[in-house]
Structure 1
Amino acid sequence: MELRQLRYFIEVAEREHVSEAAVHLHVAQSAISLQISKLETELGVQLFERAGRNIKLTHIGKIFLHHIKTAIKAIDYAKGQVDEYLNPEHGTIKIGYPTSLASYLLPTIISAYKNKQPSVSFHLHQGSYSSLIESVKNGDINLALLGPVPPEDEEINTRILFTENLSALVPINHPLAEKKSLALSELRNDDFVLFPAGYVLRRIAVEACRQAGFKPKTASEGADMDAIKGLVSAGMGVSILPDGTFYDSTPRFTAKIPIEAPRVRRTVGIITPKTRELAPSEKDFYQFIKEFFTVLEHYQ
């Protein structure tokens, strides 16, 4: 059983089409068919069956695919560890992040680190709160910035880097737009623009409104920060967003107002796996992040 055969098998299995797999792999279709045939002969089972002009996995083929993908991921990880060990200053750092940390925090950290290690490259993975936690647990990535920081469990380490406030964002023509601060209960009759159900920032906003004595009326939803801000700018409602998303500027036709009661805050930090070692370049980056925010906190 050869590694090449296994990679061919995975590509064909996921595309359910030999010719499409051949195009993607830049290999002749006949070469892929030959290697799949050799693999089936060695295993003594049929992995694929015809389905019209396409092919699909047999039952045992599906079982084989599940385990082989895990094995290939482990092999690629091991090879990456070797490459990192041989030359950590030229490694690739995979890091996940949510939309709420994309505009300021992530670029600031990466820019500062690139000044220290210009040859290191980054592979950035944007995802939802829960998907990033799962990606660290299952080995897709080893580092993820998150806010709020989840509880530490048997699979992940957590580190809080800082805590930030959340503020109200209202249209510029809102009756409260000129206020220096507000109680969240003052927005009880407003329409809200929130993230969809399942997003952690929606949960934080809804919980804050509950503490203020009301349930927010959701008029519109946006799946990313720009969409939320754009809908507020268009007068579709008000929102509650982290202060870190306003570092560059407050969006046009809106006003940002600090919330004085209840105080709405979130932790921001980084998570890493407990069950895997970080690559040398990842360890160096992780240490840099810790020191970066320790210095920042000292000056603040």
Structure 2
Amino acid sequence: MELRQIQYFMEVAKREHVTEAALALHVAQSAVSRQIFNLETELGVNLFIREGRNVKLTMIGQMFLEHMEQAMKVIEEAQREIEEYLDPKKGTIRIGFPSSLASHTLPTTISAFREHYPQVKFQLKQGSYSELIEGVINGDFDMALIGPVPKQEKKVLGTTLFTDNIVALLPSTHPLANEKAIKLGQLREDSFVLFPKEYVLREIIIRACEQIGFQPKVSFEGVDTDSIKGLVSAGLGITLIPEITLVDGFPRSTVKIPIIEPEVTRTVGVIIPRERKMLPTVRLFYDFLKDFFSRLDRYQM
């Protein structure tokens, strides 16, 4: 079994079409077909069901694909590790992140890091709270920025970088728009714009409202912070939102107001796999993150 055969097999499985796989691999269709035939002959099983020009994995083919995906991850990790040990300042870091940290926190830290290590490359992918945790556990990400920092996940190690206030974002025509601070209970009759169910930021807001005895009325939902801010800007409701998402300004026709009684916050930090060793370039960025926010915190104090 050759590495090339595995690569061709995985590409055909992905596209379910030999010709399209050959185009993606920049090789002749006959070369792909020959390698798949050789692989099936060596294994003694059919990996694909042929349906005209299309192909589909057999049951044994699906099982083989799952094993090969894991094997390729190990091979790619080994290649990265060798390259980074030769020169950690030229490696690649795979980072997951939520939408609430996309506009300011992530770009700011990467920009500051690249001033010291300009040749380091980044692969970035946005995800939900559970996707970020699973991605780190499964090896899809080297690390993930996340908020709040999980405390009960046994397979990830979380480090808090800072605490983020949750503030009210109101239309500028709202009766409380001129207040310097408001109590959360003053919003009990308002219509809220929140993330969909199962989003952790929605859970934080719901718990804060329930803590003082009311269930927020949700009129609209948005899957990211920009859509939520846009709905508030259009006068369709109010929201509670991490203050870090407003650091570069907030939408027209809206105002940001701190919340008191109760104060609503979330921790923001980074998670790494507890049982997997960090590669040298990843370690560089991880240590930089902790130092960067530690210095920022001392400066603000």
Partner of 1:265: 265
State the Cα deviation string for residues 151-177 of structure 1 (Å, max 9, x = none).
153311110111121001111101111
Q: What number of residue pairs does the alignment pair up?
A: 300
State the Cα deviation string for residues 36-56 of structure 1 (Å, max 9, x = none).
000001111111112344111
Q: Distance in 2 between matches of 1:59 and 1:145?
A: 37
- Give, as a single letter, the amino acid of the residue that structure 2 aligns with 1:48: F
Partner of 1:224: 224
Q: Distance in 2 between matches of 1:96 and 1:57?
A: 30
Q: 1:282 to 1:4 in 2, by over 3 A?
A: same
Q: Distance in 2 between matches of 1:38 and 1:165?
A: 60
- Give, as a single letter, the amino acid of the residue that structure 2 aligns with 1:281: T
User: 2:146·2:271 contact (CA, 8 Å) conserved in 1?
Assistant: yes
State the Cα deviation string for residues 268-291 of structure 1 (Å, max 9, x = none).
000001121111111011111111
Q: Distance in 1 between matches of 2:263 and 2:292?
A: 27
State the Cα deviation string for residues 120-164 of structure 1 (Å, max 9, x = none).
111111111110110000001111110100015331111011112
Q: Distance in 2 between matches of 1:119 and 1:70?
A: 28
Partner of 1:97: 97
Partner of 2:38: 38
User: 1:40·1:47 contact (CA, 8 Å) conserved in 2?
Assistant: yes
Q: Distance in 2 between matches of 1:49 and 1:63?
A: 14
Stretches of structure 1 lacking an aligned partner (at least 5 in a row): none
Quick check: 1:118 aligned with 2:127?
no
Stretches of structure 2 lacking an aligned partner (at least 5 in a row): none
Task: State the TM-score, normalized to the length of structure 1.
Answer: 0.98
Q: Distance in 2 between matches of 1:59 and 1:240?
A: 48
SS of the aligned residue for 1:197 comes to coil
* 1:62-101 pair list within 5 angstroms: 62-101=62-101
Partner of 2:14: 14
State the Cα deviation string for residues 199-244 of structure 1 (Å, max 9, x = none).
1111111111111211111111111111000000000100000111
Partner of 2:179: 179
SS of the aligned residue for 1:282 comes to helix
Quick check: 1:287 aligned with 2:296?
no
- Give, as a single letter, the amino acid of the residue that structure 1 aligns with 2:32: I
Partner of 1:108: 108
Partner of 2:139: 139
Q: Distance in 2 between matches of 1:52 and 1:31?
A: 18
Ranges of 4+ aligned residues in structure 1 off by more than 6 Å: none
User: 1:152·1:158 contact (CA, 8 Å) conserved in 2?
Assistant: no
- Give, as a single letter, the amino acid of the residue that structure 2 aligns with 1:163: T
Q: Distance in 2 between matches of 1:57 and 1:122?
A: 33
The RMSD of aligned alpha carbons is 1.0
User: 1:172·1:253 contact (CA, 8 Å) conserved in 2?
Assistant: yes
- Give, as a single letter, the amino acid of the residue that structure 2 aligns with 1:292: F
* 1:147-158 pair list within 5 angstroms: 147-151=147-151, 153-158=153-158
- Give, as a single letter, the amino acid of the residue that structure 1 aligns with 2:263: R
Quick check: 1:4 aligned with 2:1?
no
Partner of 1:192: 192
SS of the aligned residue for 2:258 comes to strand
Task: State the TM-score, normalized to the length of structure 2.
Answer: 0.97
Tell me by how many angstroms 1:98 deviates.
0.5
Partner of 1:130: 130
Quick check: 1:24 aligned with 2:54?
no
- Give, as a single letter, the amino acid of the residue that structure 2 aligns with 1:254: T
- Give, as a single letter, the amino acid of the residue that structure 1 aligns with 2:177: A
Partner of 1:170: 170
- Give, as a single letter, the amino acid of the residue that structure 2 aligns with 1:17: H
Aligned-residue sequence identity (percent) comes to: 56
Quick check: 1:254 aligned with 2:254?
yes
Q: Which moved more, 1:87-96 or 1:148-157?
A: 148-157
User: 2:18·2:53 contact (CA, 8 Å) conserved in 1?
Assistant: no
State the Cα deviation string for residues 19-51 of structure 1 (Å, max 9, x = none).
111111111111000000000011111111123
Q: Distance in 2 between matches of 1:36 and 1:199?
A: 43
Q: Distance in 2 between matches of 1:220 and 1:154?
A: 35
SS of the aligned residue for 2:33 comes to helix
